[in-house]
Amino acid sequence: MQDDDTGGTPPCFAQDLIAGHPVDPATWRDVTRFRRAERERLYALRRGMAQDDRAAQTAQVVRMLDETLGEVRGRTIAAWWPIRGELDLRDWMADAHRRGAQMALPVVVEKGRPVVFRPWSPGCAMERGAWNIPVPKGTGALTPDTVLVPLVGVDAACFRLGNGGGYYDMTFAAMSPLPRRIGVGQGFCEMSTIFPQPWDVPMDTVLLGDGRILSASA
């Protein structure tokens, strides 16, 4: 799923508002340039990962997920279909489903609007969604109690740098209560700061492929 820095609303500097928040235009331009450059730097590191390293980091994250989540039976957990070198948790998703979790994937149904979460299970019917990403076919929707979120980058306060569409932040802003949010990424994705903006929603916990766990409450 794409994600960006706009908070789900095109910048409108005439009112100096983004997603209903007053933002200084010059500051926002600087933050946007910084995030774009960091995103490209981190994409390059992903592209340079050896397959063995990617597999090892995925296995490490899976171990931490099991420890962090504990019993998954009866839980509704949203994850993602991997794109752009994201860690691939599909085997873990299938195993969690076998252990009694209801799994879901995010689906963009309207550009610039919160996503819906459709139920997913191994072998379920899929179709091509936004950006040609496979999504579960159908119209059913779930409300997850836990959302696993892919990271391009993340800072020490657990604010996330995403791919470039704003969808996770606008989705979380529309959810009450907020689900548990667990960010997942490679070991190299930690940054000193993403320069969080008023609409950015931090992760509760972050699991990194090098075995580190970050917490927003730390």
Q: In the prediction, which pLDDT does 2 show?
A: 57
Cβ–Cβ under 8 Å, residues 8 and 20: no
Identify the residue whose tokens are 């252990």. 99
Q: In the prediction, which pLDDT does 15 show?
A: 44
Q: Measured between alpha carbons, how far is 167 from 183 in angstroms, rounded to an integer? A: 15
Q: Does 99 have pLDDT greater than 60?
A: yes
For 178-197, how does the pLDDT look when each residue is reduced to its tens digit (9 = 90+)?
A: 999 999 999 999 999 999 99
Sequence-ordered list of residues with C-beta below 8 angstroms from that of 51, at least 6 positions apart, any chain: none
Residues 18-25 have a mean pLDDT of 64
| pLDDT band, very low/low/confident/very high, at 11 (cuts 50, 70, 90) | very low
Q: Measured between alpha carbons, how far is 187 from 165 in angstroms, rounded to an integer? A: 23
pTM of the model: 0.89
Q: Measured between alpha carbons, how far is 210 from 191 in angstroms, rounded to an integer? A: 15
